[in-house]
Amino acid sequence: MGARRIRREQRQFDMAQSRIRNGTEKKKERVRRQTRMVELIKKGRLPYTPSIMSWISAQLDKPTTRITQEDVDRLLGSLKA
């Protein structure tokens, strides 16, 4: 039983270190993705590609099928502020 505990603790430690390292990269990627998505949204109107709709859906916390152009316009307004 001691070996299992040691492996579990080592794995927990490694995972915590990984979260710290990868977390900073993910924060940078989220900013890059938001910038990219906002530019793509400004260029077009509904319906957007699935990847853009998925991002909008996550931002609005609303199913893709329920998103209207007014929702998108409000989202763009709130991201500028």
Q: What is the pLDDT along the chain (81 residues), one digit of tens a residue?
A: 689 999 999 999 999 999 999 999 999 999 999 999 999 999 988 889 999 999 999 999 999 999 999 999 999 998 875
Angle at 32 between CA 44 and CA 40, to 5 degrees: 5
Structure tokens, 33: 């993705």
Which residues, other chains included, contact 42 with Cβ-Cβ below 8 Å and sequence gap of 6+?
76
Q: Please state the domain extents for the chain.
A: 2-80
